[in-house]
């Protein structure tokens, strides 16, 4: 048992996996000019474990052997365990300049969800399998992507509905034998699958009895035969139109993950046909994953608040009342997010023998940042002015015939170099007024589940309290 180095993590990705991006097959994700950005971002988790400054945060002791393991793969038993994991994710995202490493953070969410569900089911073979797989992940120090979201087809129909155009809009079992199962279908929005060691596939919704073939959960190597990763392009280099920055680009790709009759051995199957528990495992995943989402949003929001304060000062408007009001709104947004995320750890529930971030609070936390993020972007854009999207490019600024004019006419507050103002506008434009910025807004709404998904869990998990408060109100009203 031992922790892998960054070098070992990268070497493990050269395994013949079937990855495509921009219509071309990728021979090596670690050297591809676009995908290696994702590899370097994911590698931050391994870098933290190697760095003495962060090792105590990134590394935990195996509960039985005492050997070092990734903290992401330590089953949380207490509020303190959850708070330590919270701190790890926030710190890692700060090191990623607002981008989470992802391939261990979300792996922990998946593993814990499967663990809890197996305990709730009480099926010994599943408990044994996830226990052994957990040990496999710890021993190999693996990176894992989560295959949660099915492509769905007609969203008004259930997976097995004859009204669906074909039966493969949700991943399903098409055959079984003594050795294992054969699965077919597709998952989408799968972050970092192209440079993860394995994929954990979970059902994304509650199922009916007729959907039993779709009630399946399993682990599969990223290079499995018949498994194809079709990746979305990502920002991987600076444009010649941009002021050059020494800070490395951090970003991830999302994949359409196609299962073209992929074989899964039984020891890697954690749900197969038990349709009653498909919704259970999806809910358990959301309890962990929405807290993870709040953690990485903290670091991202800190960075964006810093952008807002800087551009307000550069524009000379930081002391104007309505500007300070907008900055204050952003502070409230950030501090409420921090408080909710920590509170979900400090007041956990115990499911399946492990500590789970409070489901109501973690879902409120995710709902808070998703529901209000568009306003946050609006406030920052308002502080910038129209120059946010009309400023001359770095190529213009480099032209000696133009630079004098740009320095003279696009300066802001006295004492602030024009270049500083243009650089800050460039940073804000990338994060909040570009295709990347638009993608982040969509991610806020739909990543980790839609707004309605959070509302459903908040309401569902709050039934006991509602009944208690109702009875209290009836007593005060004199109703027997």
Domain membership flag for residue 393? yes
Q: What is the mean pLDDT of residues 22-50?
A: 97
- Torsion, Cα of 18, 24, 27, 31 (10° steps): -120
* 445 confidence band (pLDDT: 50, 70, 90): confident
Domain membership flag for residue 151? no
pLDDT of residue 2: 75
| Count of other CB atoms within 10 angstroms of residue 156 | 8
Domain membership flag for residue 335? yes
* 126 confidence band (pLDDT: 50, 70, 90): very high
Gap between the Cα atoms of 191 and 104, Å rounded: 12
pLDDT of residue 22: 97
pLDDT in tens, 237-269: 999 999 999 999 999 999 999 999 999 999 999
Domain membership flag for residue 342? yes
Output the average pLDDT for the chain.
96
Please list, residue by residue across 259-298, b when 16 or more beta carbons sit within 10 angstroms of its beta carbon and e when fewer do: beebebeeebbbbbbbbebbebbbbbbbbbbbbbbbbbbb
pLDDT of residue 313: 98
Stated pTM of the model: 0.94
Gap between the Cα atoms of 164 and 354, Å rounded: 39
pLDDT at residue 48 above 90?
yes
Task: Return the percentage of the chain with pLDDT > 70, whole number.
Answer: 100
Domain membership flag for residue 437? yes
β-strand 172-176 against 349-351: which pairing, if any?
Answer: unpaired
CATH number of 293's domain: 1.20.140.10
Give the Cα-Cα-Cα angle 35, 36, 39 (nearest 5 degrees).
100
* 1 confidence band (pLDDT: 50, 70, 90): low
Which range of residues forms the domain containing residue 446? 279-469
Task: Return the percentage of the chain with pLDDT > 90, whole number.
Answer: 97
Domain membership flag for residue 79? no
Tokens, residue 297: 């949003």
Domain membership flag for residue 349? yes
pLDDT of residue 165: 96
pLDDT of residue 300: 96
pLDDT of residue 245: 95
Domain membership flag for residue 439? yes
Tokens, residue 276: 């009653």
Number of separate domains in the chain:
1
């Amino acid at each position: 048992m031992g922790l892998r180095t960054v070098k070992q993590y990268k070497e493990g990705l050269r395994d013949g996996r079937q990855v495509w991006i921009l219509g071309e097959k990728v021979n090596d994700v670690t050297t591809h000019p676009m995908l290696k950005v994702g590899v370097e971002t994911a590698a931050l988790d391994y870098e933290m474990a190697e760095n003495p400054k962060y090792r105590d945060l990134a590394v935990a002791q195996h509960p039985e052997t005492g050997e070092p393991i990734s903290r992401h793969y330590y089953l949380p038993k207490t509020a303190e365990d959850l708070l330590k994991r919270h701190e790890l994710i926030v710190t890692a995202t700060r090191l990623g300049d607002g981008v989470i490493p992802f391939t261990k953070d979300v792996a922990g969410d998946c593993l814990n969800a499967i663990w809890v569900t197996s305990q709730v089911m009480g099926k010994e073979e599943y408990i044994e399998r996830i226990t052994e797989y957990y040990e496999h992940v710890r021993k190999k120090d693996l990176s894992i992507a989560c295959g949660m979201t099915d492509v769905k087809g007609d969203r008004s129909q259930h997976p097995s509905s004859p009204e669906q155009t074909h039966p493969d809009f949700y991943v399903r079992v098409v055959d079984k034998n003594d050795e294992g199962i054969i699965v077919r279908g597709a998952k989408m929005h799968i972050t970092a699958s192209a440079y993860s060691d394995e994929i954990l596939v979970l059902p994304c919704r509650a199922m009916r009895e007729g959907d039993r073939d779709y009630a399946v959960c399993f682990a599969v190597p990223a290079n499995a035969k018949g498994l194809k990763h079709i990746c979305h392009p990502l920002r991987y280099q600076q444009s010649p139109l941009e002021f050059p920055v020494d800070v490395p680009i951090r970003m991830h790709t999302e994949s359409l993950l196609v299962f073209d009759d992929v074989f899964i051995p039984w020891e890697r199957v954690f749900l197969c046909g038990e349709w009653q528990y498909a919704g259970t495992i999806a809910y358990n995943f959301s309890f962990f994953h929405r807290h993870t989402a709040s953690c990485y949003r903290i670091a991202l929001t800190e960075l964006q608040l810093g952008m807002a304060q800087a551009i307000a000062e550069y524009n000379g408007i930081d002391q104007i009342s309505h500007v300070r009001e907008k900055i204050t709104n952003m502070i409230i947004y950030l501090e409420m997010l921090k408080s909710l995320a920590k509170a979900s750890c400090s007041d956990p529930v115990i499911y399946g023998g492990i500590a789970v971030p409070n489901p109501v609070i973690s879902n409120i936390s995710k709902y808070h940042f998703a529901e209000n993020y568009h306003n946050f972007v609006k406030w920052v854009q308002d502080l910038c002015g129209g120059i946010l999207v009309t400023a001359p490019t770095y190529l213009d600024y480099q032209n000696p015939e133009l630079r004098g004019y740009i320095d003279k006419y696009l300066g802001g507050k006295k004492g602030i170099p024009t270049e500083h103002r243009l650089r800050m506008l460039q940073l804000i434009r990338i994060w909040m007024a570009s295709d990347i910025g638009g993608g982040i807004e969509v991610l806020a709404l739909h990543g980790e589940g839609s707004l309605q998904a959070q509302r459903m869990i908040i309401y569902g998990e709050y039934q006991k309290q509602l009944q208690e408060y109702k009875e209290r109100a009836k007593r005060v009203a004199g109703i027997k």
